Amino acid sequence: MKTLYDVLIIGGGPAGLSTAYLCHKHGLSYLVLESGKAIFQGIANSYPEGKLVYASKPKDAPDPFMVDELRPPDKPVTVESYLQYVQHFVQHENLNIQTEVDFEDIKDERDSLGVITSKGTFRGKKVVLSFGSNIPRELSVYGDAKMVAKNVEDAGKYIGIKTLVIGGGNTAADVIINILKAKREVNDMQPVFWAHKAETFDVNKETAQRLGEEILLGGNIRLLPGAMPRIGEVDEEGVDRLVIRINMFQQADGVDLYHAMSFPMQNVIACIGSQGPVPIFDKLAIQTIACTSGVCRIAKEGERLVLLNSDFESTRKGVYVIGGAISPSYMKISEGSIMEEKHPNLIYTAINDAYYVVEAIRSRIGK
């Protein structure tokens, strides 16, 4: 029988780790499932190098930081030293974390919730969703295609193989520059294919200059403008592959002719941006409400906001949502009315949400 945790925590950023630490402190069993290679992957991926981390607090917020151990220092430090500090803290407290686990879905079990991930199903009495606001977009190809990487942490992994990078912007270009550089250093002439669904690529001047430099120094790049990822398939050897259509000829008889390339999924890097978490809420059958004219001050008309009670519990029983995932605002049900609630995307808010959620869970579970 699988372990039944009191709390399963999705995402190891400030919100998830604060939840974990408070569970640990109060004797609740818990496990953090983080998709990245390490905790705070969201911050590591999104902050520029050397960025200072501020202990910002919204002006009208009455509470101090409720988990002092994870608050950024008053005198701002670089993101690298804040990350290092948090790593030490996690090791010192021996927090229960599994990295490189992708959260996928939640299913109701008899007395618990089953959290389905890329590494199997975990069981919890409560689930805290703290996966932040940057949800990588899916490629939306038909079939069971899974996206394998959204950025490149180890360019060396692509040496000796033909790599496909998808996306037309700066992130894709940066990934390509890193891979070309790694390949050049070991004289690897296997090309990097750069595919984008539009006919033109759109990068800023500085990135274009660095890319140009790599190409002039011998980088082997093949451009595939107007290329569409079409389908995920499994070949005879059981390898997941992505088929990308590189051009199409419509014929009078209605039978289209096209050229396509097929890459093993693990050689594909999709840099197609991020989106808010609404598609995940839809998948989980968590209710959201659309802002109609005059109802919301922060969200725009038509935007959908997740519906939570004052304990951050969603309409799916036992599933809580906190941190960046509900910023910059959500719909709060309280005393019979539903109102848009401001929720600035800050480390402060993420930490303090965790405090209130763990208090609510403790009173429900009785610990």
Ligand X SMILES: Cc1cc2nc3c(=O)[nH]c(=O)nc-3n(C[C@H](O)[C@H](O)[C@H](O)COP(=O)(O)OP(=O)(O)OC[C@H]3O[C@@H](n4cnc5c(N)ncnc54)[C@H](O)[C@@H]3O)c2cc1C
Contact residues for ligand X (CB under 6 A)?
10-16, 33-36, 40-43, 46-47, 53-54, 56, 102-103, 130-132, 134, 323-325, 345-348, 350
Q: By C-beta, is 174 or 214 nearer to ligand X?
A: 174
Q: Which residues make Cβ contacts (< 8 Å) with residue 205, sequence separation at least 6?
A: none
Return the bridge partners of 321, or none: 129
Q: Which residues make Cβ contacts (< 8 Å) with residue 258, sequence separation at least 6?
A: 245, 246, 247, 248, 249
Least distance from C-beta 116 to ligand X, angstroms?
Answer: 11
Cβ 355 vs Cβ 18: under 8 Å: yes
Least distance from C-beta 346 to ligand X, angstroms?
Answer: 4
Least distance from C-beta 182 to ligand X, angstroms?
Answer: 23
Q: By C-beta, is 76 or 191 nearer to ligand X?
A: 76
Q: By C-beta, is 15 or 145 nearer to ligand X?
A: 15
Q: By C-beta, is 232 or 323 nearer to ligand X?
A: 323
Return the bridge partners of 327, or none: none
Q: By C-beta, is 34 or 313 nearer to ligand X?
A: 34
Q: By C-beta, is 15 or 179 nearer to ligand X?
A: 15
Least distance from C-beta 215 to ligand X, angstroms?
Answer: 29
Least distance from C-beta 290 to ligand X, angstroms?
Answer: 23
Cβ 323 vs Cβ 292: under 8 Å: no
Q: By C-beta, is 10 or 272 nearer to ligand X?
A: 10
Amino acid in the structure at residue 111: D
Return the bridge partners of 214, or none: none
- The separation between CA 300 and the C-alpha centre of its own chain, rounded to angstroms, equals 23
Q: By C-beta, is 136 or 191 nearer to ligand X?
A: 136
How buried is residue 94: exposed, middle or buried, by Cβ count under 10 Å (0-12/13-18/19+)?
A: exposed
- CA–CA gap between residue 367 and residue 28 (Å, rounded): 7
Least distance from C-beta 336 to ligand X, angstroms?
Answer: 29
H, E, C per residue of 177-242 = HHHHHHHHHCCCCCCEEEEECCCCCCCCHHHHHHHHHHHHCCCCEEEEECCEEEEEEECCCCCEEE
Q: Strand pairing of 304-309 and 329-334?
A: parallel
Least distance from C-beta 214 to ligand X, angstroms?
Answer: 26
Least distance from C-beta 144 to ligand X, angstroms?
Answer: 17
Q: By C-beta, is 113 or 224 nearer to ligand X?
A: 113
Find out whether the peptide bond into 328 is cis, omega within 30 degrees of 0.
yes
Task: Count Cβ atoms below 10 Å from residue 34 Cβ, excluding itself.
Answer: 26
Least distance from C-beta 304 to ligand X, angstroms?
Answer: 19
